Amino acid sequence: MGSAPITLCEQDTNAYLREYYPLILRLAQRIQDGLPSRNAYDDLVQAGMLAAWACAGHHQRFAAPQEFVKLLAVRIRGAMLDLLREEDWAPRRLRKKNKTLEVGAARCIQRLQRYPNDQELAEAMGWSVHELHQHWSEIGRAAPLYLEDVLPAHAELMDDTAQPHHRAERDEARTLLTEAIAALSEEERTALSLYILEELTLEDVAHVMGFKSKNTALKWVTQGIIKCRAFLLARGLDAESI
């Protein structure tokens, strides 16, 4: 069992929240950036503040501050995405269609031992290539998708005192995820790297990659994430159950 978090006094808690407030704002803006027209920014910030407050005192358990910041970002981002899920951010029809696509892509990966191209995936789904491209655009506009969605929830605020089977789940997911990303197209890998790892906005990703709009950047990010989810599913690691 891990040690209990250290209780902070009100003054220390306020200082702690002020320190990480810019992180909360940045994550809220990135998620808002990928949403359709409605404005959820204030609600996202509030969810992030509550998540950060819940972690107050945990930061003193980490020898390296950057490790806590990385894990805190996962917790804040997770709280924001949970808020959107609770508000039914994507129509049920679209979520069902997207899950069907993930399963179809996973079966193609198992059969081909590689990612299917658009023609192969469309044929497997009984769609035209145009219908497949329409779906990429539709799901991309409907919601922000993040790589953390395919990692075990136990990756949040874990340290060396975590239970061994939780660490094993996390390590297995990360190993498979590394394989999944390596097998993506160059455009998908680059978009994911810029957006997820370097945390650029969609506008910045579009600029770096020479795209005319952030919608094109969102398309590559979305395709990459859905393919990663399908890859994990093909390897027996369901993103919805871990």
Residue 45's pLDDT is what? 94
Q: Mean pLDDT lowest for which of 1-10, 119-128, 134-143, 206-215?
A: 1-10
* CA distance readout (Å), 167 to 35, 55, 137, 153, 158: 32, 20, 36, 11, 8
pTM given for the model: 0.69
Residue 88's pLDDT is what? 64
Residue 105's pLDDT is what? 95
Give yes or no for a contact between 48 and 30, defined as CB atoms under 8 angstroms apart.
Answer: no
Question: 92-234: which CATH topology?
Answer: Butyryl-CoA Dehydrogenase, subunit A; domain 3 (1.20.140)
What are the pLDDT digits (tens) for 105-128?
A: 999 999 999 999 999 999 999 999
How many other C-beta atoms can be found within 10 angstroms of the C-beta atom of residue 30? 20
What are the pLDDT digits (tens) for 189-200?
A: 999 888 877 778
Residue 166's pLDDT is what? 61
- Tell me what percent of the residues of the chain surpass a pLDDT of 90: 28
Residue 23's pLDDT is what? 93
- Rounded to an integer, the average pLDDT of 138-144 is 63
What are the pLDDT digits (tens) for 78-95?
A: 898 888 877 766 667 777
- Is the pLDDT score of 240 beyond 80? no
13: confidence class by pLDDT, cuts 50, 70, 90 = confident
Using a CB cutoff of 8 Å and minimum separation of 24, what contacts does 173-178 make?
Answer: 173/232, 173/237, 173/242, 176/231, 176/232, 176/235, 176/237, 177/147, 177/150, 177/151, 177/228, 177/232
- Is the pLDDT score of 64 beyond 90? no
Q: Return d(Cα 235, Cα 95) in angstroms, integer.
A: 21
CATH 3.50.50.60 fits 10-86, yes or no: no
Contacts of 235 (CB under 8 A, 6+ apart): 176
Q: Return d(Cα 179, Cα 198) in angstroms, integer.
A: 19
| Amino acid residing at 54 | A
Query: Where do the structural domains in the chain lie, given as residue ranges?
Result: 10-86, 92-234
- Rounded to an integer, the average pLDDT of 218-226 is 85
Q: Return d(Cα 75, Cα 137) in angstroms, integer.
A: 28
